[in-house]
């Protein structure tokens, strides 16, 4: 695919993410605490997470490896980070959740499969086929982006781990999280994920990686706003000083 078509596709994809934001704010994506029975067929929550997330590293790896671009140290590091993130998200994270017996709508699984195919294609194809051989791990921008990525991943992992430990085995209810990373925001896991993929975009410095960072924010800022509203409705003693996802601001 020539660069013009690829860039047009990526820009259209970014625009689509932005157009969906108002809908995502008004209609909370129906999984986890926002699941509702009237969203059609449902499947086991853990199975759904595995199916929808495992697509991403498969598609990414396929296009990365079959592409003819020269693979530099930077491309291989980005490939490794993507793979590590998604091996955790698809094969480990679902089994760390205490969601036994919970369901996820097939519609969410299907739309996430579509998203992960498009996102895996754009990023794998760019790095595998279109990336100029200029991406090296000792470039200052790559190092700064790498640190941002690691900071985001650590925050995401720490916050998710705290949430997962709030439930005793067999529990499926919700409690107020009080770990320090929740002091200023209700959803530090979502904030961490946004920081993580922003770091990846700084490292990769291409339109495909930017589109993933935009999609992550466009998905997770509305989700965090909805979680935050839900917490405040649910718990009278919910900490006043918390915002949804950006400390002091949002």
Give, in order, the Cα–Cα distances in Å from 96 to each of 46, 88, 229: 9, 10, 26
Q: Which residue's CB is nearer to ligand NAP, number 66 or number 172?
A: 172
Nearest-approach distance from CB 220 to ligand NAP, in angstroms:
6
Residue pointed to by tokens 């919910």: 238
Q: Give the binding site for ligand NAP (CB under 6 A).
A: 32-33, 97, 99, 102, 156, 160, 163-164, 166-167, 172, 174-175, 177, 189-190, 193, 216, 219-220, 223
Nearest-approach distance from CB 218 to ligand NAP, in angstroms:
8
Q: Residues near 233 by Cβ (< 8 Å), separated by ≥ 6?
A: none
Q: Which residue's CB is nearer to ligand NAP, number 137 or number 164?
A: 164
Nearest-approach distance from CB 167 to ligand NAP, in angstroms:
5
Nearest-approach distance from CB 53 to ligand NAP, in angstroms:
8
The packing angle between helices 73-87 and 188-204, to 10°, is 160
Q: Which residue's CB is nearer to ligand NAP, number 71 or number 179?
A: 179
Q: Which residue's CB is nearer to ligand NAP, number 57 or number 67?
A: 57
- Tokens describing residue 56: 């991403």
Between CA 80 and CA 87, with CA 84 as vertex, the angle to 5 degrees is 135
Give, in order, the Cα–Cα distances in Å from 216 to each of 17, 32, 133: 9, 17, 27
Residue nearest to ligand NAP (CB): 32
* Whether 50 contacts 91, CB under 8 Å: yes
Q: Which residue's CB is nearer to ligand NAP, number 136 or number 235?
A: 235
Give, in order, the Cα–Cα distances in Å from 5 to each of 89, 133, 155, 208: 31, 21, 36, 13
Nearest-approach distance from CB 98 to ligand NAP, in angstroms:
7
């Amino acid at each position: 695919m020539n660069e013009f078509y690829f860039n047009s596709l990526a820009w259209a994809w970014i625009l689509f993410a932005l157009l969906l934001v108002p809908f995502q704010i008004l209609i909370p994506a129906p999984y986890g605490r926002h699941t509702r029975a009237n969203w059609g067929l449902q499947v086991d929550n853990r199975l759904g997470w595995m199916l929808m997330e495992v697509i991403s590293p498969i598609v990414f790896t396929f296009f990365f490896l079959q592409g003819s671009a020269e693979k530099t140290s930077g491309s291989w590091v980005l490939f490794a980070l993507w793979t590590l993130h998604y091996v955790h998200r698809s094969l480990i994270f679902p089994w760390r959740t205490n969601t036994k017996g919970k369901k996820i709508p097939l519609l969410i699984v299907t739309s996430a499969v579509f998203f992960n195919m498009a996102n895996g294609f754009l990023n794998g194809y760019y790095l595998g086929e279109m990336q100029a051989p200029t991406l090296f791990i000792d470039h200052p921008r790559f190092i700064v982006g790498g640190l941002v990525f690691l900071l985001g991943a650590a925050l995401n992992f720490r916050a998710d781990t705290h949430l997962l430990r709030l439930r005793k085995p067999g529990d499926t209810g919700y409690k107020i999280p009080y770990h320090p990373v929740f002091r200023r925001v209700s959803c530090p896991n979502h904030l961490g994920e946004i920081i993580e993929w922003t770091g990846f975009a700084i490292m990769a410095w291409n339109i495909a990686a930017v589109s993933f960072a935009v999609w992550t924010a466009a998905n997770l800022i509305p989700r965090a706003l909805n979680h935050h509203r839900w917490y405040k409705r649910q718990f009278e003693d919910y900490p006043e000083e918390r915002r949804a996802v950006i400390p002091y601001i949002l």
